[in-house]
């Protein structure tokens, strides 16, 4: 699932880069950076989990899973932070500022704190996309809103996974669904002319 999401994230990043080259609009560069980071995080997490799986959960390889999650978490933190910054720039909301927190360098397992941070960022982004949809009422805006709402829900399930393993596959499905909605938006944009 991570590999599919990775491919979609890179496709979104590519479209944003094409837009930036054409328009020199900085928010599109932020969007590109954000999705490159998301893609990189997903790829590393997917690869590390694949290696652990291929090694049949050998004790010597288990640290890779935590390493992959840590890198993915940091990549997502940065990616969603950049997106939040882009929305703040766009709306000229100078009162809202992102507090940069110095993160101690150690490996994270799936835990409530990391997921809560990501949920906080994603809910902000989903709210901005909801405001955008309420203004322009386009299907593409609705797909982006759906994508970030799904990603928020996915991380809510990742949070609940700390309580029960049942939520783990559900979280992955919600995450994949979010990226598939972004893919649908991309296809619509490129077929619109």
Partner 1 sequence: MIPSEQGQAAKPASKYRSQLRIYVDIMRVIQRESNQAKPTRILYGANLSHDRLVKYLEELKSVGVIRETGTEDKVYSLTQKGIEFLNNFRKVESFASAFGFSI
Residues that bind partner 1 (CB under 8 A): 15-16, 18-19, 22-28, 31, 86-87, 90, 92, 128-129, 131-132, 135-136, 138, 140-141, 143-144, 185-186, 188-190, 192-193
Cβ proximity to partner 1: between 133 and 161 the closer is 133
Cβ proximity to partner 1: between 5 and 31 the closer is 31
Give CA–CA dist 70/74, Å, rounded. 6
Least distance in angstroms from the C-beta of 119 to partner 1? 20
CA atoms within 13 A on the CB side of 68: 19
Least distance in angstroms from the C-beta of 1 to partner 1? 23
Tokens at 118, concatenated: 């990501």
Least distance in angstroms from the C-beta of 13 to partner 1? 12
Cβ proximity to partner 1: between 94 and 165 the closer is 94
Cβ proximity to partner 1: between 71 and 185 the closer is 185
Least distance in angstroms from the C-beta of 179 to partner 1? 14
Cβ proximity to partner 1: between 30 and 158 the closer is 30
Least distance in angstroms from the C-beta of 193 to partner 1? 4
Give CA–CA dist 137/70, Å, rounded. 37
Cβ proximity to partner 1: between 164 and 192 the closer is 192
Least distance in angstroms from the C-beta of 40 to partner 1? 20
**Nearest 5°: CA angle at 29, between 27 and 30?**
65
């Amino acid at each position: 699932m991570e590999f599919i999401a990775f491919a979609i994230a890179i496709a979104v990043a590519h479209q944003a880069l094409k837009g930036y080259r054409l328009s020199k609009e900085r928010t599109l560069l932020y969007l590109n950076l954000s999705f490159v980071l998301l893609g990189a995080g997903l790829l590393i997490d997917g690869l590390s989990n694949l290696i652990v799986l291929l090694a049949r959960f050998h004790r010597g390889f288990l640290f890779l899973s935590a390493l992959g999650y840590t890198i993915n978490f940091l990549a997502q933190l940065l990616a969603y932070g950049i997106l939040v910054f882009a929305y703040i720039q766009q709306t000229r909301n100078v009162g809202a500022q992102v507090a940069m927190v110095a993160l101690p360098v150690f490996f994270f397992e799936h835990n409530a704190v990391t997921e809560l941070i990501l949920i906080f960022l994603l809910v902000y982004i989903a709210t901005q996309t909801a405001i955008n949809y309420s203004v322009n009422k386009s299907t593409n805006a609705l797909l982006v809103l759906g994508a970030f709402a799904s990603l928020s829900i996915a991380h809510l399930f990742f949070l609940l996974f700390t309580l029960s393993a049942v939520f783990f596959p559900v979280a992955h499905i919600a995450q994949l669904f979010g990226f598939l909605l972004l893919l649908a938006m991309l296809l619509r944009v490129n077929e619109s002319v």
